[in-house]
Amino acid sequence: MAGSNSFSLTPKRWIEATNAIGIVSRAGRYGGTFAHKDIAFEFATWLSAEFKFYLIKEFQRLKSDESSRLQLEWNLQRTIAKINYHIHTDAIKANLIPQEVTRHQASLVYASEADLLNVALFGTTAAAWRDEHPGETGNIRDHASLEQLVVLSNMEGINALLIQQGIPQGERLVQLNKVAIAQMKSLLENNARKKLK
């Protein structure tokens, strides 16, 4: 029938022929054809190349805006983690580094504490991560998710407090790992709930 010049496919005919449920056609004064938005978009893009082009461009713009927003959030959280790191290093300097040490010896203590946080959160040290990712630029924290950066920022403050309380590194690692697990679980579950809504 579709090949015949006299054939026309009306919405009502389409609904009857396919038993469509996403489209409704009503006659009369307040009638019209109503469809689910996905179906309406498909028909509109089929009817109008201009509309299809507009829809594609708008989708690309929205994805670009979303990507920019997420990148800004990540950069902000990375900056906060770096700022909190100063609180962390001040606590290390005041409580863990004896007065008469060389710069090299002090840097080992700082690196040890940074790796304490890395192991508690990422499960690996910075050096081990670099060995596993030889082609990557930056460090383990530059490749962290937004949630990981939030937790890292929190852990730096907590570790500074634990250092000031004189808690040994091994005990701090256990406590910080528990904090990392609990906070990551909370953040990821919260994000999953938002995506479901």
Cα 120 to Cα 116: distance, rounded to the nearest angstrom: 6
Which pTM value belongs to this model? 0.51
Condensed to tens digits (0 to 9), the pLDDT of residues 157-185 reads 898 889 889 999 999 999 999 999 999 98
- Checking if the pLDDT of 7 tops 60, the result is yes
Q: Is 172 exposed, middle or buried (0-12, 13-18, 19+ CB in 10 A)?
A: buried
The reported pLDDT for the residue numbered 121 is: 92
- Checking if the pLDDT of 196 tops 60, the result is no
The reported pLDDT for the residue numbered 112 is: 87
Condensed to tens digits (0 to 9), the pLDDT of residues 84-136 reads 677 667 777 777 766 676 777 777 887 888 899 999 999 999 899 999 999 88
- Checking if the pLDDT of 197 tops 60, the result is no
Residue pointed to by tokens 């489209």: 23
Cα 52 to Cα 47: distance, rounded to the nearest angstrom: 9
Please report which confidence band the pLDDT of residue 5 belongs to, taking 50, 70 and 90 as the band edges: low
The residues, ordered by sequence, that sit 6+ positions from 45 with a Cβ below 8 Å of its Cβ are: 51, 52, 55
The reported pLDDT for the residue numbered 119 is: 93
Cα 114 to Cα 125: distance, rounded to the nearest angstrom: 9
- Domain ranges (residues) in the chain: 11-47, 66-196
